[in-house]
Each structure stands twice: as C-alpha cells, then as structure tokens.
C-alpha cells in the first residue's frame, strides 16, 4: 500500500530525552539502533508518529516499545527540522523530555532497538542523527528548570538526605555549592518534611532523611518557584 499527495510531505518522528539520577551521576536513556540508518549507533529512543495518535502518545508508545519504560509525565522540549538532519530525506522530529526515578525502571529493549541503557550525560557514545544537539538542548532546559521549578521530587527517591538533594543540584548545574548556604536556602522554602528516620546501611554517620511536602511543592510550582543559588 502506498500514499500519494499533491505536494511533497516530510516524515514526522518523536524522540525522547529521559533523565534519571543514580548514586554517581545524571543519566540519559539511550537505545542502540537495530536498523539503518546509523545501525548499531546509540540514539535517543523515538520513531515515526502514527496518523491517529497525538505527538505525546507517540512519544510514550516509542519509549515503551524501545526501552520498556513507562512514564506518566512527558514535556515537549523542542522541534528539530533542519532539512538535512536525516539521511533518509526530510524528517522533522518533535523532542520530548522526562525526569524519572532511575531505581524504579528496569529497561527492556524491543522492536527497532537492540539494546537500551543508561549513560552518563557527560560521557555518551557518539549519537545518531542530530541527537547530540537534542540532548544538549534538553540539558539546557533542565538547568533552566532547577531555577524555577522544584524538580527534585521527580529525580530523587521518596526519602532522601540533604546531601543527595545538594548533589542533584550540583550535578545538574555542573558546579559545587556551599553546603551551609544550600541547606539554609532549601530549608527556608519550607518544602521539605523532616522525618524521624536516618539512612540505613551506611559506613559514615547516618544522615537525617527528608521527603517533599507534596502540598507545599504544588503550591510552589504554581506560584512560581524561585531558587537562585
């Protein structure tokens, strides 16, 4: 079956930049391409939009098909449409962006992907298409977001230490922060609930655990979070 149009049409794809945080680093989800072009090269998960699905539904479907990952919240990042960005011809891609808790996601490659894996955002293999640009745009967005949205909730486990939270900010912003100043600012926001629990199974002195106050968190998000460091 073929499809004929009066004027030439571009193909439209979606691509997903999924960030997760582990003990060491900020990670991005990549898949290894099983088909041409760029067969064997690592890329962002994504694929062609079907005629009867929304762009966001397409992104969600591709994430599940290519990496076995389900995520509720996807945010549109940017649409990349340089005429020469794909060797197959004109392909316009709508990029999406998600933050997930790394520990909750077991990856499983399928369909067009050979393999799916987490890579440090600072040390990815050479990527297919213009995916290095897409990733870099997503990192810029993430850096911007930490200044006006309380993003920790999406990346950290439900209970965390202040050191973990500080490391998140340091990792995303790529610079060290003063510990005392950081704690003062974050606690002043009244965003965290101090728990009657400390870390388990650590060799150093166990630190206090905190969790996000969901109600306060939503209020801050709505009112316009402002966290200048």
The residues carrying an active-site annotation are: 115
Whether residue 121 contacts residue 41, with contact meaning beta carbons closer than 8 Å, is answered with: no
Tokens of 29: 């989800």
Whether residue 109 contacts residue 25, with contact meaning beta carbons closer than 8 Å, is answered with: no
Residue from the set 38, 61, 92, 145 that interacts with its own copies by CB under 8 A = 92
Residue from the set 4, 72, 200, 203 that interacts with its own copies by CB under 8 A = 4
String marking each residue 172-211 x if it binds its own copies according to CB under 8 A:
----------------------------------------
- The rounded distance, in Å, linking the Cα atoms of 80 and 85 is 8
**What DSSP character marks residue 81?**
-
Whether residue 95 contacts residue 129, with contact meaning beta carbons closer than 8 Å, is answered with: no
- The enclosing H or E element of 125 equals none
Q: Is 125 in the site for its own copies (CB under 8 A)?
A: no
Residue with tokens 């149009």: 5
- The rounded distance, in Å, linking the Cα atoms of 42 and 124 is 9
For residue 46, the minimal CB distance to its own copies (Å) is 14
Q: Is 18 in the site for its own copies (CB under 8 A)?
A: no
For residue 17, the minimal CB distance to its own copies (Å) is 15
Helix (H, G, I), strand (E, B) or coil at 229: coil
For residue 121, the minimal CB distance to its own copies (Å) is 21
Give the C-alpha distances (Å, rounded to integers) separating 112 from 35, 135, 218: 6, 20, 38
Site for its own copies in 144-163 (CB under 8 A): 147-148
- The rounded distance, in Å, linking the Cα atoms of 67 and 89 is 26
Q: Which is nearer to its own copies, 52 or 123 (CB)?
A: 52
Q: Is 11 in the site for its own copies (CB under 8 A)?
A: yes
- The rounded distance, in Å, linking the Cα atoms of 224 and 59 is 28
Binders of its own copies: how many residues, by CB under 8 A? 32
Residue from the set 78, 159, 199, 211 that interacts with its own copies by CB under 8 A = 78
208 phi, psi to nearest 5 deg: -60, 140
Task: Kindly indicate which of the ranges 78-86, 100-108, 182-190, 206-214 contains the residues binding its own copies, using the contact rule CB under 8 A.
Answer: 78-86
For residue 170, the minimal CB distance to its own copies (Å) is 17
Residue from the set 22, 53, 178, 194 that interacts with its own copies by CB under 8 A = 53
Binding site for its own copies (CB under 8 A): 2-12, 48-49, 51-55, 76, 78-79, 81-83, 90, 92, 94, 147-148, 224, 226, 228
């Amino acid at each position: 079956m073929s499809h004929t149009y009066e004027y030439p049409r571009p193909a439209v794809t979606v691509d997903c930049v999924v960030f997760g945080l582990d003990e060491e680093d900020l990670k991005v989800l990549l898949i290894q391409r099983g088909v041409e072009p760029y067969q064997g090269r690592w890329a962002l998960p994504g694929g062609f939009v079907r005629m009867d699905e929304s762009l966001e539904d397409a992104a969600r479907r591709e994430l599940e098909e290519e990496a076995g990952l389900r995520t509720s919240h996807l945010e549109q990042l940017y649409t990349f449409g340089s005429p020469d960005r794909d060797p197959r011809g004109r392909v316009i891609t709508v990029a999406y962006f998600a933050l997930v808790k790394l520990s909750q996601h077991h990856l499983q490659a399928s369909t067009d992907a050979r393999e799916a894996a987490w890579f440090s955002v600072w040390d990815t293999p050479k990527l297919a298409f213009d995916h290095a640009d897409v990733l870099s745009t997503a990192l810029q967005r993430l850096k911007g977001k930490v200044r006006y949205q309380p993003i920790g909730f999406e990346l950290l486990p439900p209970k965390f230490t202040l050191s973990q939270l500080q490391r998140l900010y340091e990792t995303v912003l790529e610079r060290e922060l003063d510990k005392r100043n950081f704690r003062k600012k974050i606690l002043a926001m009244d965003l965290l609930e101090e728990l009657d629990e400390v870390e388990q199974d650590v060799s150093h002195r166990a630190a206090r655990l905190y969790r996000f106050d969901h109600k306060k968190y939503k209020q801050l998000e709505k009112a316009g979070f402002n966290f200048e460091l």
